[in-house]
Amino acid sequence: MKGNWLLVTGLFMLMTASTVLADQKFDKTAVSPFETYCDGYGMPGAQGLGYVSVLKVSTGTVEKSDDLLIDGIIAYDRAEANDAYIGQINMLTASSFNGVMGSIWGYDLAKAEIVRTGKQKPMFTLTQYDGTPLPVYDAAPLIEAGQALFGTEKERHFPPAPGSHVICAQKEATAYRPQKGKPKVDKGQAYGVWCFLCISLAKDRNTGASLFIEDAGVWTKNDNEQEIQSFLSKHQRNVANSIIACGKDQSVIYDRTYMSYAYVIMSPGQVGTALTVSPYVTLARKALPAGGFSALEKISLNEWEKEMGFKTTNPK
């Protein structure tokens, strides 16, 4: 009897704790101390305890010199500067979740138009360990939202502050394509480099973290763009299956996944880097709309861009 009573009491306490966790409300305010710069999460002077994840996949190339280490640094820096601008930051690597205090730019805040309307169709759907479907969507709208926030190297909006320390979920691949002949695979040479970035949104984001998966590699087969594109298209399912495996290990079910990739076929004599990265930032003060941080949960990306005076992204 005593054992049964303890078991019932334990189950009741567990159910009560789960209900309390599910009912919690989190203030995800994440405002930088800078007017026109975002800042890294956890840095001094921020308003609020939250953070914002921004998605980016990019590549960079450079002509090889006599110093491969420096060439790799330049190619990496160019990948940081290309597309959504996150140049000149001290990147601190994290593994790799958006949790209860996190928001995702383009999804939770300033939601991309095609995401807001629900018109986007999944690229494919897999089955999770409990039988729940996992639709996998193209992350392009979230990637474009990141560029709208940070701007580009030539036209900067609210990039991370120069020299800021920014925690990022990230991986990269770097390789050299020789000037003549086939790449020597055993020496780390290749025709191209590629990378993937995924964010899988937990079905219950009060009790589970949304998962980042980053993948990066080299392409050694040939310099045919159609073939690397075919490989990456097929590889998407392998990446998605890794998400399901991670969810099973943590007993987490995901509502959906957003996935994107980038690649480059280097010209002969070039060093290339493919960079998959999601910075964890607080938002520049001038990036906030008239209603403040909380208003970002209600307005679309296009509405935010209009208020900021920027050209709108995918207005349809």
Find all residues with CB under 8 Å of 128, minimum gap 6, and list them.
134, 244, 247, 248, 253, 254
Dist. CA 152–CA 146, nearest whole Å: 10
How far is CA 59 from each of CA 72, 222, 273, rounded to the nearest angstrom? 12, 18, 5
- What residue spans of 25-160 are helical by DSSP H? 68-81, 113-117, 140-150
Catalytic residue among 113, 214, 303, 305: 214
Q: Cα Rg for the chain, rounded, in angstroms?
A: 21
How far is CA 234 from each of CA 102, 159, 227, rounded to the nearest angstrom? 31, 34, 11
Residue 12 carries which side chain, given as an amino acid letter? F
Q: Give the Cβ contact number of residue 257 at 10 Å.
A: 26
> Is 63 a known active-site residue?
no
Characterize 73-99 residue by residue with b for buried, 16 or more Cβ atoms within 10 angstroms of its Cβ, and e for exposed: ebbbbbbbbbbbbbbebebeebebbbe
Dist. CA 309–CA 151, nearest whole Å: 13
Contact 128, 244 (CB under 8 A): yes
Report residue 103 as tokens. Answer: 């928001």
Distance of CA 122 to the CA centre of its chain: 18
Residues assigned a catalytic role:
214
